[in-house]
Amino acid sequence: DVKVTQSSRYLVKRTGEKVFLECVQDMDHENMFWYRQDPGLGLRLIYFSYDVKMKEKGDIPEGYSVSREKKERFSLILESASTNQTSMYLCASSFFPGLPTDTQYFGPGTRLTVL
């Protein structure tokens, strides 16, 4: 079974803090993704990566950055957290290189609250 893990299930941070969300997958998947999910808006893609050290902007990259130093790990960084970044953050991975349309498998999610 594919396993995607995220570092925290719940996180509370203060406005202006730098926040790191970690995601690890154990299936040697090439592609990794970060989404946020808000009521009524569905899942929105923040960033994705096809390979180590590469990244592509998704639909809503503003206020976020990412890092992929190792194939299995994809980190989402909020440089200066703001209250409008309070959300559920979901990491996903998929197998086929360069084929982001392949089936994606999701981690359990991190519910981030920014006060």
Partner 1 sequence: QKEVEQNSGPLSVPEGAIASLNCTYSDRGSQSFFWYRQYSGKSPELIMSIYSNGDKEDGRFTAQLNKASQYVSLLIRDSQPSDSATYLCAVSWGKLQFGAGTQVVVTP
Separate counts of helices (H) and strands (E) for the chain: 0, 11
Spatial separation of the C-alpha atoms in residues 109 and 4, rounded to whole Å? 10
| Residues whose CB is less than 8 angstroms from the CB of residue 44 and which lie 6 or more positions away in sequence, other chains included | 35, 36, 37, 38, 58, 59, 60
Spatial separation of the C-alpha atoms in residues 74 and 101, rounded to whole Å? 18
> Is residue 42 a contact point for partner 1 (CB under 8 A)?
yes
Instruction: Kindly state the smallest distance separating residue 100's Cβ from partner 1, in Å.
Output: 5
Q: Which of 41, 52, 53, 80 binds partner 1 (CB under 8 A)?
A: 41
Among residues 83, 87, 80, 67, the alpha carbon closest in space to that of 23 is found at: 67
Instruction: Kindly state the smallest distance separating residue 81's Cβ from partner 1, in Å.
Output: 22
> Is residue 11 a contact point for partner 1 (CB under 8 A)?
no
**Is 85 strand, coil or helix?**
helix
> Is residue 49 a contact point for partner 1 (CB under 8 A)?
no
Site string for partner 1, 69-98 (x = CB under 8 A): ---------------------x--------
The site for partner 1, by CB under 8 A, has a size of 19
Which residues of this protein are in contact with partner 1, per CB under 8 A?
Answer: 33, 40-43, 45, 48, 58, 90, 100-109
